[in-house]
Amino acid sequence: FEIVVLVSGFGSNLQALIDAAKAHPDQYRIKAVICNRPQAYALERARQANIPYFTICAAAGQTRESYDQQLNQQLETLQPDLIVMAGFMRILSAGFTEKWQHKLINIHPSLLPKYPGLNTHQRALDARDAIHGISIHYVNAEVDGGPVIAQAQLEIKSQDSAETLAQRIHELEHQLLPAVVLAIATKKIHYNLAHHQVTFLGD
Ligand code: GRF
């Protein structure tokens, strides 16, 4: 089972996936990393792990469709079983998500449907929420809107700031993302596209 990981930044979730792949070499392999920012530390992680990586930068004035076409071409070549958006900070066009929706997942730092988009930690604090968390979901044309596969949550403490939440949220992400990828790789998760329904299958 081969995955491609899409990243834009620090790549700590990519690292969690690299470590889990090393621990379970028979379950999944990271075939390549694709990044839209040439200076992203995530690329250094890929290099150190001997994983092929590709940088696809948006040219000035390039349309979303044209960028996504480039991304699509690279994925066509790689033919992954699963594409994992792990901090990939681009919105994908409807044509792209429709084509790959059966094998495209994203990690988002909120308990969806709450707080799609950016600044989720501050928004949870501003709303005086008691709990906050993360979601892993299949991707469709709606930003952070596809069917949720799994969530994990934490309690917001009175002394929490966006920074302390971000740190604890990352810890949750590093656990749940590899677990979901492993579950998909071992066919414990079934996605019925027609009904937008995610089902968990027993052993
Ligand atoms: C994560 O918090 C993820 O939920 C969000 O972007 C962040 C990426 O962090 N979409 P990293 O690059 O994996 O460290």
Q: How far is the CA of 144 from the centre of ligand 1 (A)?
A: 13
Task: Flag whether pLDDT at 15 surpasses 80.
Answer: yes
> Which of 125-129, 159-163, 189-193 shows the lowest per-residue confidence on average (mean pLDDT)?
189-193
Q: Which residues pair with 172 in a beta bridge?
A: none
Task: Flag whether pLDDT at 138 surpasses 70.
Answer: yes
The residue annotated as part of the active site, out of 108, 121, 132, 137, is 108
18 Cβ below 6 A of ligand 1? no
Among 5, 10, 13, the mutation site with the greatest number of ligand 1 atoms within 8 A of its Cβ is: 13
Q: How confident is the model at residue 115 (pLDDT cuts 50, 70, 90)?
A: very high
Task: For residue range 51-108, list pLDDT tens digits in order.
Answer: 999 999 999 999 999 999 999 999 999 999 999 999 999 999 999 999 999 999 999 9
Q: Collect all residues with Cβ–Cβ distance below 8 Å to 110 and sequence separation of at least 6.
A: 116, 120, 123, 124, 132, 133, 134, 135, 144
Binding-site sequence positions: 11-13, 64, 89-92, 106
**pTM: predicted TM-score of the whole model, two decimal places:** 0.97
What does the pLDDT read at residue 99?
97
What does the pLDDT read at residue 202?
74
- Half-sphere exposure (CA, 13 Å, Cβ side) for 75? 24
The CATH class, in words, for 2-200 is alpha beta
DSSP-derived 3-state class of residue 10: coil
What does the pLDDT read at residue 203?
65
Does 174 participate in catalysis according to the annotation?
Answer: no
Task: For residue range 139-187, list pLDDT tens digits in order.
Answer: 999 999 999 999 999 999 999 999 999 999 999 999 999 999 999 999 9
Which atom of ligand 1 sits closest to the CA of residue 170? Answer: 2
13 Cβ below 6 A of ligand 1? yes
Which atom of ligand 1 sits closest to the CA of residue 9? Answer: 12
Mean pLDDT of 35-42: 98
Q: How far is residue 40 CA from its own chain's centroid?
A: 16
List of E strands, 36-128 = 53-55, 82-85, 104-108
